[in-house]
Amino acid sequence: MRTPRPVPAGPITAVLSVLVLFLGACGAGPSPTVWAASVCTALTPWRAEIGKLTSSTQQQMTAKTTPAQAKENLVRLLAGAEAASERARDQVEKAGVPDVDRGDSVAHGFVASLSSVRDAYGNAKRGIEQLDASRGGSFYDGVETVLKTLNTEYSRSALDTDSLNSPELQKAFDEVPECR
């Protein structure tokens, strides 16, 4: 029986190093341009939907409706904002991690911000659902309190762009047509 000869470590190490580098390059995230386009593609309809829902909510608050009708409409509007925010969050998450310095922090920041926005709308929806619409005055006071809390939570969810500064991504966001 023949004893196998050991293979010198040098060639194996070289092959493994090249393989690791090759596989690492294949695992890189999308380019800044591709990532920015994906994010803007996710955020453009979300912004439009949030704008429409915000306008509808303002109209709802000034319309002559019963408290029960107002409650139903507000819950529907807030549920729509919650769902739109989740769709945008999901699409941004699927965009992956951009191939830039601290890309993982940038991607996580965008997803976390949209998660917080989604949660703020969900909390507001649940807050309105818990209000007693049979008590007109206190119902509208409760709506005002819930919407103030929504505004506070929404403000806290803002993305801290200073800590996620990436010149490559800034350039990409300025240049891709999806972001205009």
Roughly what angle, to the nearest 10 degrees, separates helices 103-129 and 136-156?
A: 180
CA distance 163 to 146: 30
pLDDT above 70: residue 63: yes
Q: How confident is the model at residue 163 (pLDDT cuts 50, 70, 90)?
A: low
Q: How far is CA 3 from CA 6, 9, 10, 25, 30, in A?
A: 9, 18, 21, 38, 48
Q: Calculate the average pLDDT of the chain.
A: 84
Task: Please report, as a single letter, which amino acid is at residue 98.
Answer: P
Tell me if the pTM is above 0.85.
no
Residue 64's pLDDT is 79
CA nearest to 157, candidates 97, 82, 99: 82
pLDDT above 80: residue 9: no
Annotated domain spans of the chain: 30-179
Total H helices, total E strands in the chain:
6, 0
Q: Are 176 and 37 in contact (CB under 8 A)?
A: yes
pLDDT above 90: residue 78: yes
- pLDDT tens-digit map of 13-46: 333 333 333 333 445 899 999 999 999 999 999 9
- pLDDT tens-digit map of 39-54: 999 999 999 998 998 8
**Local structure of residue 29 (DSSP, 8 states):** -
Q: How many CB atoms lie within 10 A of CB 106?
A: 23
